[in-house]
Structure formats: C-alpha cells, structure tokens
Copies of this chain bind each other. A is one copy, B any other.
C-alpha cells in the first residue's frame, strides 16, 4: 500500500491549527506568530510535506505563469528549434518570459496536438505562429490573451506582422538597380511537401499553400517590377518548403526550369541558403552568374558563403513585442515591424548586360 502524500489539511491537523492558518504559514508567513509558524513547519517536516501543491492553488483563479508558443503550419517543435528564424524569434520571446518570471511552453503545430493544446495547455496566453480560422475560434474561447504572427486576423485580435510588401519591393528594386531583368521567385510552401512550380502566365493568386504574408511579398515584388515594365505574371514562381532537404530539392527544380533567370527573389532566408548551396553544387556562381536576395535576415544569412543579401526584419524585437502583448493581455494591438535591405555578397550587377 502506497503512503498517500501529505497535504495541507494533514499538516493543519498535525499542528492542530485550521486549514486557513496552515495555508497562511506557507503563503503569508508574516501573518503568523513565529511560534505558530514554527509549529506548522515542524509538522510539515515530519509529514514530509513540501509546500502547497501548485495544482490546488491554480484553481483559485491563479496564473500558470507560462505562455505557450505554437509554430505555424504543422511544424513540429523539433523543427522549430532547428529553424534559425524561429530560434531568433523565440530568443526574444524567452527574454520577455524571463523578465516576467514566466516559463515558455513550446507546443507542436501538428494538427491534433495543436487543437488539444489550445483547449487544454496550462498557459496564461498564446503566441500563434500563424492561425487558421478554426484555431482562432478555439483560442478565443479559451479566454486567454493571444497574439498571432504575420497575419492581420481582424480588428479584435492582436497581431504583430512586418512590412512584407515594402520589404519585397526593396528586394526587387535592389535587383532592378543592379540591372537585372530576368527574375524568378521562390515562395514559401507552408507544409512539408515537394516544391511546386508555377510557370509564367496569368495566374493571379494561385499559389497553393501560402499565407497572406506571402501574397504581400508577391505584391511587393510586383510593385517594383512594374516600375521597370515587367509583369509579375511573366516571372516563374517556385513554392518550396524551407527546411532541409526540401529547400535543396526545390533549388534544383528552380535551376532546371528557370536557367535564364539572373535574379532570384526568395521569400525566406532558409530557402535562399538552399539556393546558395545548390548553386555551388551545380557550378553556378553567386553573385557572378546569378544574384539572390533573401528575406528575414536569419542568423545564418551572415555566415553563409557568400553572405546573403536580404531583407532584415527585427526578429528578436518581434518576439519581445509578441510576448509583451500576451502578458499585458492588451487588446486590439496591430503592430507592423519595419524591414530594411541588407546588402551583402549574394547580389551583384548583372554581368552579361
């Protein structure tokens, strides 16, 4: 037979005090006469009692002292940890958790887990890497504060995004300024799967698995290209899932199907690094033969070879802001973080001008 672990009422009984007083001994000891406190502590020690069980306390309207993060697009936690982009973002989130004395619970983006967690995770709020309609409904029901990333989900839900259209415009304009006229775009496929190729043609909004942010970027590229008389419909688009080895597989498709492109506009640094790797493998020189510009300024964009020209977004700050919004429980905040062009070594003047 198992010896039931002692609880507060046992301690109270042993010390011959009331439950309430025993509770106070642990939570507001300054209210007790020292001798009584001693008595209770002694009883607790004898019973092997370790202080109030957090589960009990929780029910009395307590905070869990933790916030949850759920990555976008069915991404597993392990994948999230290995994403340079998310790592930096999560650093910002973690900093704020630390400042607020809270823990960070990382939840799988896999569909079943996500649904369960949104209903049941013991957290005081959520940061959603993205959100489909159904999740928004569930999380709203949870009656805890939450914020969604990179998506304006309406006036009543907190969001923090970036100036995606502006960033893309800057990237494409940079290429135009360098004399490029033959483009290809690498968009982000949001679920694990083979890259999908879209030949030029009139294909308004037909990307298969993209988020609003991806369309904003497309619009931004289009804005810039239009100034040079180039239609977005004339440039091929590859949608590619960023984690390795998908990025590399996609890059091979890219070079095979768009061999004449000299300027590659990539919506994610992780994908861009895949392009860089595959270019090297295929003997294509970057930036001599082909220029590539990424997006995000993930930490490995600076150590790649060549270092990646990219559109920087303030990832750590973004994480901090998102976390602070959740902790503040503030409502109706819609923040847009600024972006900027970082010119490094993966872009150059078109050589065969």
Residue A206 at the B interface, CB < 8 A? no
Docked-complex contact B116 and A101, CB < 8 angstroms: yes
For chain A, which range describes its interface: under 10, 10 to 19, 20 to 34, or 35 or more residues? 35 or more
Residue A39 at the B interface, CB < 8 A? no
A104: nearest chain-B partner, CB-CB: B106
Complex copy number for this chain: 2
Give the docked Cα–Cα distance between A303 and B77 (Å): 24
Residue A222 at the B interface, CB < 8 A? no
Q: Please, could you name 29 A-B residue pairs with CB atoms under 8 Å apart, sorted by A?
A: A48-B141, A50-B138, A50-B143, A51-B141, A54-B119, A54-B120, A54-B122, A55-B59, A57-B120, A65-B116, A65-B120, A68-B103, A77-B97, A78-B91, A78-B92, A78-B94, A78-B95, A81-B94, A82-B91, A87-B87, A97-B108, A98-B110, A101-B113, A103-B106, A103-B117, A104-B105, A104-B106, A106-B106, A303-B303
**Which residues from B are CB-within-8-Å of A105?**
66, 103-106
A49: nearest chain-B partner, CB-CB: B141
Give the docked Cα–Cα distance between A223 and B154 (Å): 66
Docked-complex contact B141 and A50, CB < 8 angstroms: yes
Docked-complex contact A103 and B94, CB < 8 angstroms: no
- Shortest distance in angstroms between A111's beta carbon and chain B's nearest beta carbon? 12
Residue A228 at the B interface, CB < 8 A? no
Q: Which of A130-153 contact B (CB under 8 A)?
A: 138, 141-143
